[in-house]
């Protein structure tokens, strides 16, 4: 800009003197200034393009670095033979694990847990206890530094990650809703499913009651991240997706933590339908959602400190009873706490 305006200023000064001296006409001076402005604009455009090219070159270099990076989680050269559908028996054997960014701090330590097919197990404990880490290891986002994780007796490291993840359905705390129709969002759980299959999944997830009120029903576009839906409605679509996928292992990560009482009731009913016949691993802070679990595992700083049913853990006292005391408890639970004290 300095060069452009400085050049125009010099031309006006020199050209103005020539016009006054009679050596140059006013029209010729105006034409020259016009040509000068065009040349300056072109030069500025070229400089912007060069700047863009430099940024693109830097981004391309970084992109190729990422493409050349080898993932730490890879399919084995000879993966174990996989069945079309596994039974869903899970086992964590003496797990020791620390995240790559915090190798000095163990997220799980001497963690051992076995789930039989069809069992519903809840993981509870304070924030940072390692609950989400258990799910991350089961999905094989990471491999443990010590110990091993097994499904139906097979070490996860012997399976192709795609084969493993086709056995697992996940209902997260913040479900991913795509900028597509209801039909396409639910069908994401099983792309080849028919419209009738999707409708049955929505019925079982108690989603039909709000889907039928949408402007185009199953064809309604939901917007980016499902902005047109409430939290409970997004959760029920996520459950419908998991029902349609029909996987033997189900992971529930705080599926009702951000819902109001009415939405939580609807989602809880849908989850009860989803959990039937599946090995279920639940993470929850609201103890009301895990009271009827077959087993509750209490974690603290990556270590299992207690496990049992809701009533058994209340009688034992300890961390679970203290956490339960911070939440709303019914008369029966209060009596158990008093007895434990």
In three-state secondary structure terms, 14 is helix
DSSP structural state of residue 101: G
**Predicted local distance difference test score (pLDDT) of residue 56:** 93
CA 316 – CA 81 distance, rounded (Å): 44
What is the residue-level pLDDT of the chain in tens, covering all 341 positions?
777 677 777 877 888 888 788 787 888 878 877 887 787 778 778 888 888 999 999 999 999 998 888 888 888 878 776 667 788 889 999 999 999 888 888 889 889 999 998 888 989 888 888 888 999 999 999 999 999 999 988 888 888 888 888 888 888 888 888 888 888 988 988 888 888 988 888 888 888 888 888 888 888 888 888 888 887 888 888 888 888 888 889 888 877 665 666 667 777 777 777 777 888 888 877 777 777 788 989 888 888 888 888 888 888 877 878 877 776 454 455 455 555 54
Residue identified by tokens 């604009």 is: 41
pLDDT in tens, 33-55: 788 778 777 877 888 888 899 99
Beta carbons of 111 and 303 less than 8 angstroms apart: yes
**Strands 295-300 and 279-283, bridge-based pairing:** unpaired
Nearest to 166 by CA among 75, 223, 83: 83
pLDDT at 53: 92
Sheet holding 168-171: strands in order across?
168-171, 249-253, 279-283, 120-124, 295-300, 303-308
Structurally, what CATH architecture does the domain formed by 90-340 represent?
A: 3-Layer(aba) Sandwich (3.40)
pLDDT in tens, 226-246: 888 887 888 888 888 888 888
pLDDT score, position 24: 77
Residues 6+ apart with CB under 8 A from 275: 120, 250
Closest C-alpha to 301, from 133, 185, 165: 133
> What pLDDT score was predicted for residue 327?
67
Q: How far apart are CA 249 and CA 152, in angstroms?
A: 11
Q: Which among 159, 151, 105 is positioned nearest to 129, based on CA atoms?
A: 105
Domain residue spans in the chain?
Answer: 2-68, 90-340
| Alpha carbon distance 249, 117 (integer Å) | 8
What's the confidence (pLDDT) of residue 243? 86
What b/e readout covers 289-304, taking b as 16+ CB neighbours within 10 angstroms? bbbebebbbbbbebeb
How much is the pLDDT for 331?
44
Report which secondary-structure segment, H or E, holds 321.
helix 318-325
């Amino acid at each position: 800009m300095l060069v452009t305006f400085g050049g125009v200023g010099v031309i006006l000064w020199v050209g103005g003197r020539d016009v006054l001296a009679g050596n140059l006409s006013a029209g010729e001076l105006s034409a020259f200034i016009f040509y000068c402005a065009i040349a300056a604009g072109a030069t500025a455009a070229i400089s912007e393009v060069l700047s863009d090219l430099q940024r693109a070159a830097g981004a391309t270099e970084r992109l190729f670095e990422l493409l050349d990076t080898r993932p730490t989680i890879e399919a084995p050269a000879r993966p174990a033979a996989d069945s079309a559908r596994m039974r869903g028996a899970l086992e964590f054997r003496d797990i020791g694990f620390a995240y790559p960014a915090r190798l000095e701090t163990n997220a799980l330590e001497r963690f051992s847990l076995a789930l039989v097919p069809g069992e519903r197990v809840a993981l509870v404990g304070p924030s940072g206890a390692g609950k989400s880490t258990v799910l991350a290891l089961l999905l094989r986002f990471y491999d443990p530094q010590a110990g091993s994780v097994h499904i139906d007796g097979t070490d996860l490291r012997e399976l192709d990650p795609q084969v493993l993840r086709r056995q697992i359905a996940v209902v997260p705390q913040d479900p991913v809703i795509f900028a597509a129709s209801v039909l396409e969002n639910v069908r994401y759980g099983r792309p080849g499913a028919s419209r009738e299959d999707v409708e049955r999944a929505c019925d079982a997830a108690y989603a039909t009651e709000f889907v039928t009120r949408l402007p185009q029903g199953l064809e309604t576009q939901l917007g980016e991240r499902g902005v047109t839906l409430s939290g409970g409605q997004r959760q029920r679509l996520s459950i419908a997706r998991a029902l349609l996928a029909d996987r033997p292992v189900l992971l529930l990560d705080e599926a009702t933590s951000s819902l109001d009482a009415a939405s939580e009731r609807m989602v809880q009913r849908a989850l009860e339908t989803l959990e039937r016949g599946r090995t279920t691993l639940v993470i929850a802070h609201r103890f009301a959602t895990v009271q009827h679990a077959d087993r509750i595992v209490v974690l603290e700083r990556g270590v299992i400190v207690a496990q049992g049913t809701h009533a058994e853990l209340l009688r034992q006292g300890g961390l679970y009873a203290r956490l339960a005391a911070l939440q709303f408890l019914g008369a029966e639970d209060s009596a158990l706490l008093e007895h434990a004290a």
